[in-house]
């Protein structure tokens, strides 16, 4: 019964969100763009990290790759082809990283993923200043904020559908076994390395597209903007707050936390990073299963 009602409701909500640019002002449209971007980033983070237990801080590495690909190629290629090239580059980098590092576990993978984002930022900075002779690039594309929003909304919808499919597929079952015990997973014939790499590459591809789609919004991009590590931490906090292993968990986390972060950055710009760190600690200790897990546990208690 719930599933029968859930699908029409989801379609209605999606239709209302798609029509939002026709009845909201520029400020609220900007908020919707930010929320759609972080819903997608948090969902993509949960798609890999929430289901494998590998905490990744490389979100901004792929986000920045997508943004800079558009900045470099926007005047040379048609926009759809630029997005395709960005996707290929992002997934290619993720494949190389996955083959080299997904055998690492625990804090070692966390450290490497954070270092990857910083390494790519430094390489782009070196290339821009040494080879190109400038620090940033301008992006001029013939579409407005509403077009960016619709693209992000479509990508967010596709990410949620992909997550739904993974949860109900053999891949999702294999991921549950891997997250519980990799030794058991290997003994029952699950190709652990390939499963993790495939999911990491798909997740990275989504993150790359978010950066590529959002980059025209800034007009001017430079490494400090698109490789800001705050993006990685915010995606992580949002996914954990909502429940990284749940279908709607990252969405439940991304929307209220994005609005909260916007308010904090506007009212407490000098203390924003400190407040972000405190919030992360509170979420980890008080909501280990996220908001979605909290609601589910209460529902199970009520049923008993």
Residue-wise pLDDT tens digits, 204-236: 999 999 999 999 988 889 888 899 988 998 899
Span 95-112, average pLDDT? 80
Residue 71 lies in a domain: yes
Annotate the chain with DSSP letters as a single string: -HHHHHHHHHHHHHHHHHHGGGTS-HHHHHHHHHHHHHHHHHHHHHHHHHHH------HHHHHHHHHHHHHHHTTTS-HHHHHHHHHHHHHHHHHHHHHHHTT--THHHHHHHHHHHHHHHHHHHHIIIIISSSS-EE---S--HHHHHHHHHHHHHHHHHHHHHHHTSHHHHHHHHHHH-HHHHHHTT--HHHHHHHHHHHHHHHHHHHHHHHHHHHSEE-HHHHT-THHHHHHHHHHHHH-TTSSSHHHHHHHHHHHHHHHHHHH-TTTHHHHHHHHHHHHHHH-TTHHHHHHHHHHHHHH-
What confidence tier does 245 reach under pLDDT thresholds 50, 70, 90?
confident
Residue 235 lies in a domain: no
Q: What is the tally of structural domains in the chain?
A: 1
What confidence tier does 194 reach under pLDDT thresholds 50, 70, 90?
confident
Q: What is the pLDDT of residue 299?
A: 45
Tell me the residue range of the domain where 108 lies: 24-228
Q: What is the pLDDT of residue 286?
A: 66
Q: Note whether 258 and 35 are within 8 A (CB).
A: yes
Residue 263 lies in a domain: no
Higher pLDDT, 82 or 130: 82
Residues of the chain with pLDDT > 70, as a percent, come to: 89
Higher pLDDT, 10 or 47: 47
What confidence tier does 287 reach under pLDDT thresholds 50, 70, 90?
low
Q: Is the pLDDT confidence value at 269 over 60?
A: yes
**Residue 78 backbone zone (phi > 0: left; psi -120 to 50: alpha; other: beta):** beta
Supply 61's token pair.
């590495």
Q: What is the pLDDT of residue 81?
A: 96
Span 116-144, average pLDDT? 87
Span 119-126, average pLDDT? 91
Look at residues 266, 134, 140, 156 and name the one whose alpha carbon lies nearest to residue 215.
140
Residue 273 lies in a domain: no
d(CA 288, CA 28): 32
Q: What is the pLDDT of residue 279?
A: 75
Residue 238 lies in a domain: no
Q: What is the pLDDT of residue 304?
A: 45
Name the residue with tokens 């993974």: 166
d(CA 185, CA 53): 14
Q: Is the pLDDT confidence value at 24 over 60?
A: yes
Q: Is the pLDDT confidence value at 1 over 50?
A: no
Q: Is the pLDDT confidence value at 298 over 60?
A: no
Residue 17 lies in a domain: no
Span 179-195, average pLDDT? 74
Q: What is the pLDDT of residue 300?
A: 44
Residue 48 lies in a domain: yes
Residue 16 lies in a domain: no
Span 60-79, average pLDDT? 93
Q: What is the pLDDT of residue 114?
A: 87
């Amino acid at each position: 019964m719930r599933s029968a009602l859930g699908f029409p409701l989801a379609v209605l909500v999606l239709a209302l969100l798609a029509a939002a640019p026709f009845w909201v002002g520029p400020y609220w449209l900007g908020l919707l763009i930010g929320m759609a971007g972080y819903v997608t980033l948090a969902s993509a983070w949960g798609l890999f990290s929430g289901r494998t237990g590998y905490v990744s801080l490389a979100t901004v590495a792929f986000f920045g790759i997508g943004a800079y690909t558009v900045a470099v190629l926007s005047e040379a290629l048609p926009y759809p082809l630029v997005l395709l090239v960005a996707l290929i580059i992002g997934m290619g980098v993720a494949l190389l990283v996955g083959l080299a590092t997904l055998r690492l576990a625990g804090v070692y993978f966390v450290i490497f993923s954070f270092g990857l984002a910083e390494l790519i930022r430094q390489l782009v900075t070196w290339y821009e200043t040494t080879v190109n002779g400038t620090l940033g690039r301008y992006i001029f594309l013939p579409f407005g904020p509403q077009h960016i929003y619709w693209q992000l909304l479509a990508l967010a919808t596709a990410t949620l559908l992909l997550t739904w499919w993974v949860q109900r597929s053999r891949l999702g079952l294999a991921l549950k076994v891997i997250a519980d015990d990799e030794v058991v997973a290997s003994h029952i014939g699950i190709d652990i390395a390939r499963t993790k790499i495939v999911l990491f590459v798909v997740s990275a591809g989504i993150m790359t597209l978010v950066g590529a789609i959002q980059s025209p919004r800034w007009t001017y991009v430079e490494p400090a903007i698109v490789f800001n590590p705050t993006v990685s931490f915010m995606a992580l906090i949002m996914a954990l707050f909502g429940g990284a292993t749940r279908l709607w968990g990252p969405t439940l986390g991304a929307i209220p936390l994005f609005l909260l972060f916007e308010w904090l950055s506007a009212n407490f710009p000098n203390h924003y990073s400190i407040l972000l760190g405190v919030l992360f600690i509170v979420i980890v200790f008080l909501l280990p299963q996220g908001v979605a897990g909290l609601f589910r546990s209460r529902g199970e208690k009520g049923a008993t």
